[in-house]
Chains A and B, each alone.
Chain A
Amino acid sequence: MSKVLVIAEHDGNLLNGSTARAVACASQLGLAAVDVVVLASDGSAVAEQAAKLTGVSTVVLVQNPVNENAVAALLAPQIEALASDYSHVFAPSTTFGKDLMPRVAAHLGVPQISDIMRVESATVFDRPVYAGNAVITVEAPEGLVLGTVRTASYPAVTQDGAATIETREVSVTLPSHTRYEGLKTSGGGDRPDLQAAAKVVSGGRGVGSEENFSVIYGLADKLGAGVGASRAAVDAGFIPNDHQVGQTGKIIAPELYMAFGISGAIQHLAGIKDAGTIVAVNKDADAPIFEVADYGLVGDLFEVIEELEKAL
């Protein structure tokens, strides 16, 4: 029977918003069922959240103390064991899914399709290449289809579902060669998550320093926005890495994206192609960011932000 398994991303307590987006993509396959698997140490709270996602039939809960942290080398054999019941296995194309799914694919000897942005049929998909400057339409070979979903291409499904939760034992031997040592979060405070935020305020090299970035945070807080950055700003140490937007950072689709002191390199633009409205402020009238901005303002970002703060 054709059905799809979506791998839930979570932190042990909360289901990550990327899961509901991957479910949205999986629902378009037109298969008999969309199931979600939660691999966790306990995970019951996560499973309940997943059961609410519209369109999900069954939430499979795999409880194992080794699943306390998401380590690809430990999760992959478990997913491999579950995959035999499915025609498709999808995960969000976040660092979690990107780390995990190719390893699963290798175990199963099938290719994996990265960053699915459109479902043409159950075996034909569109995906971006060259930092989104080209789109290829690919057909998966006969057999199990493995993919990661470009979350910016899919709005999250609603939460009107009532899936059944099924606890499953998965008995496979797991390696001991990989140990989780810890996570240092950048502590974004109460700011909205970059990948889910409706508004994002971003700063680039033009912001000049870590101290100066406070004007970006200030404006973001006034607007209730998430905070993004260019690679140059992250490399220079103005802001932690998890704020990087772009080809090799986060790909986002907020309703409003405001770029301050960002030139608009193709690698950066790859991360904002799906933004609703792009506003760019740059002192260089020829900056390439103006080629994609809906509203461009040539000027000094510090002066502009000061005026904006007053006007809001």
Chain B
Amino acid sequence: MKILVGVKRVVDYNVRIQVKADGSGVATDGVKMSMNPFDEIAVEEALRIKEAGKADEVIAVTIGPKVCQEQLRTALAMGADRAIHVETDDEIQPLTGARILKALADKEEPKIVLLGKQAIDDDNNQTAQMLGGLSHWPQATFASEVVIEGDTALVTREIDSGLETLSVDLPAVISVDLRLNEPRYVKLPNIMKAKRKPIETLTLADLNVEVAPSVTVLKTSAPAKREAGIKVESVEELVIILKEKGLIE
């Protein structure tokens, strides 16, 4: 059984991004880029499923420009067996991304597609659900535990009201949440080994994928800034202020 894992290159989560003055986007020149943190968790989970003897091959997939291969190398160094780079310089929105992943799933016939619950740049939280819809596969989003038993997966999901469990038939799409696992550190020898692992490059045309209807980004602006507040010296002072404002009795 194969597992396909989505790997997106994003601005590192530690970076405080800056909105460009002309409203055309956020500044990314010289900014540290990384694998989307949720995707690291997805790669880790795929590897654990394989290490438990429940999968034979882990394939990492990225969609984007040439430089995204850096993140594929990271996935390979973590332990993925091979990688697919769907190369495009255009901005890919979730519906097109899901179409691409569906085309790859049709080709590779994985039993599980593991994606992050959201990309921390666009914060869309859509691709896994869209892939589920396009493929008419089950979806189990926001997973904090995944148990594979034969042809089904028992997935615990972090939802607003607690922890929900779904049982889904495979093939299925699973999107991962933060507490599913802690991704392993990449060891140096594995980075060297990863250089020899294969990356297949494809285009949208190779996969027969047309760009889906998309939203148009008209402008990017900085959010309303909160006024910096004051430091109070004591609990007493704090209580007086909060009482004056009617926030506490």
Name the CB-closest residue of B to A296.
Answer: B231
Convert B103-131 into 0s and 1s, putting 1 for each residue whose CB lies closer than 8 angstroms to a CB of A: 00000000000000110111111111111
| Chain A residues, Cβ within 8 Å of B127 | 102
Q: How far is the CA of A177 from the CA of B229 in the complex (A)?
A: 53
Convert B152-181 into 0s and 1s, putting 1 for each residue whose CB lies closer than 8 angstroms to a CB of A: 001001111111111111001000011100
Smallest Cβ distance from A3 to chain B, in angstroms? 21
CB-contact partner of B220 in A94, A101, A136, A179, under 8 A: A136
Q: How far is the CA of A284 from the CA of B129 in the complex (A)?
A: 41
| Chain B residues, Cβ within 8 Å of A113 | 215
CB-contact partner of B120 in A104, A131, A141, A308, under 8 A: A131
| Chain B residues, Cβ within 8 Å of A277 | 242, 245, 247
Smallest Cβ distance from A178 to chain B, in angstroms? 4
| Chain A residues, Cβ within 8 Å of B144 | 241
CB-contact partner of A109 in B213, B216, B247, under 8 A: B213
Q: By the criterion of a CB under 8 Å from any partner CB, how many residues of chain B are at the interface?
A: 83
| Chain A residues, Cβ within 8 Å of B165 | 180-184
Question: How many residues of A sit at the interface, in one of the four size bands?
Answer: 35 or more
| Chain B residues, Cβ within 8 Å of A205 | none
| Chain A residues, Cβ within 8 Å of B118 | 248
Interface of A is mostly: mixed
Interface of B is mostly: mixed
| Chain B residues, Cβ within 8 Å of A255 | 247
Q: How far is the CA of A136 from the CA of B122 in the complex (A)?
A: 10
Name the CB-closest residue of B to A93.
Answer: B125
Smallest Cβ distance from A67 to chain B, in angstroms? 15
| Chain A residues, Cβ within 8 Å of B95 | 105-106, 109-112
Given contacts A175-B136, A241-B163, A304-B235, whether A103 and B168 have CB atoms under 8 Å apart is no
B79 at the interface (CB under 8 A from A): no
Contact B129 A111 (CB under 8 A): no
Q: How far is the CA of A242 from the CA of B160 in the complex (A)?
A: 5
Given contacts A106-B133, A131-B120, A181-B166, whether A297 and B139 have CB atoms under 8 Å apart is no
B21 at the interface (CB under 8 A from A): no
Contact A103 B142 (CB under 8 A): no
In the complex, which of the residues A11, A71, A103 has the most CB atoms of chain B within 10 Å of its own CB atom?
Answer: A103
Between A and B, 16 residue pairs with Cβ closer than 8 Å are A99-B129, A99-B141, A103-B132, A114-B125, A130-B121, A134-B221, A135-B221, A136-B219, A138-B217, A180-B165, A181-B166, A241-B158, A295-B232, A311-B239, A312-B239, A312-B249
Where the two chains meet, the residues of B that have a C-beta atom closer than 8 Å to any C-beta of A are 11, 13, 16-17, 19, 26, 93-95, 98, 117-118, 120-134, 136-142, 144, 154, 157-169, 172, 177-179, 212-223, 226-232, 234-236, 238-239, 241-242, 245, 247-249
Known A-B contacts: A113-B215, A124-B218, A248-B118. Give 6 more (CB < 8 A): A98-B129, A105-B95, A183-B162, A185-B161, A242-B160, A308-B235
Where the two chains meet, the residues of A that have a C-beta atom closer than 8 Å to any C-beta of B are 11, 71-73, 76, 94-96, 98-107, 109-115, 124, 128-141, 143, 175, 177-186, 195, 199, 223, 231, 234-235, 240-242, 247-248, 250, 255-256, 266-267, 273, 276-279, 285, 290-298, 304, 307-308, 311-312
